[in-house]
């Protein structure tokens, strides 16, 4: 186990504690209860030919990646960093919270099988809580912020319109804090962060925070769920 993995596991243990783990075994976790059923966006990106890219951030990238690796139409979901420079795109520096980076996931998808709007709907519904400012669950700091990094003006318009739509519908108890801005660069995270949910399904952090997200994807978005995850280690995608 690397020092970075150990530090996050230690944080997980401190945040959860023995009582919470006992509760997890007894019934649904807090993460499972936090999923919100939301309407689809009224506006969406027009379908285009060829592989498309979406980049999102919603707390620890392990869980977000895991959700989209179980999503039909997603050809690859890679954990990485966005929002800062290439020179600071490594886990040790990003974890300090001063690089401008957010732990992010780059999603390559087939627009004939899943739309950008559906990706955002899953993102807002089961992948994270968009009302938490600079944190998700036990993780806190700007590197865990909720963000959408857009690759086109159309993506920007759709993302902003969807946030306004959800806020107006008051589907959450608090306003959405997700920031929308242009993608200036995505940098793939270290190899040990890739496919983490699948490779470490019994780690307490994953069990408590992330497995429920995949379970909610299966329950709420059954038509978009695939049982076998599409792993970075087994897929090569080019534009």
Catalytic residues: 60
Residues 6+ apart with CB under 8 A from 236: none
Whether residue 180 contacts residue 159, with contact meaning beta carbons closer than 8 Å, is answered with: yes
Residue among 184, 183, 166 nearest 175 (CA) = 166
Residue among 137, 140, 119 nearest 128 (CA) = 137
Q: Alpha carbon 15 to chain centroid distance?
A: 20
Number of Cβ atoms within 10 Å of the Cβ of 26: 7
Question: To 10 degrees, the CA torsion angle through 217, 223, 224, 228?
Answer: 80
């Amino acid at each position: 186990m690397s020092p970075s993995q150990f530090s996050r596991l230690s944080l997980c243990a401190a945040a959860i504690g023995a009582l919470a783990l006992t509760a997890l075994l007894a019934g649904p976790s807090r993460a499972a209860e936090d999923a919100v059923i939301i309407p689809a966006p009224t506006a969406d990106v027009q379908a285009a030919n060829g592989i498309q890219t979406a980049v999102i951030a919603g707390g620890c990238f392990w869980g977000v990646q895991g959700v989209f690796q179980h999503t039909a139409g997603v050809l690859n979901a890679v954990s990485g960093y966005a929002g800062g420079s290439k020179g600071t795109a490594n886990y040790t520096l990003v974890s300090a919270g001063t690089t401008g980076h957010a732990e992010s996931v780059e999603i390559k998808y087939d627009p004939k099988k899943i739309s950008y709007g559906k990706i955002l709907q899953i993102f807002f519904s089961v992948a994270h809580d968009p009302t938490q400012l600079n944190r998700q669950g036990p993780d806190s700091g700007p590197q865990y912020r909720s963000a959408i990094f857009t690759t086109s003006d159309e993506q920007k318009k759709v993302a902003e319109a969807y946030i306004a739509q959800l806020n107006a519908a008051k589907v959450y108890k608090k306003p959405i804090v997700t920031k929308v801005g242009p993608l200036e660069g995505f940098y793939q995270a270290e190899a040990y962060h890739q496919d983490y949910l699948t490779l470490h399904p019994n780690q307490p952090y994953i069990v408590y925070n992330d497995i429920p997200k995949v379970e909610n994807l299966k329950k709420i978005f059954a038509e978009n769920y695939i049982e076998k995850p599409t792993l970075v280690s087994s897929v090569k995608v080019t534009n």
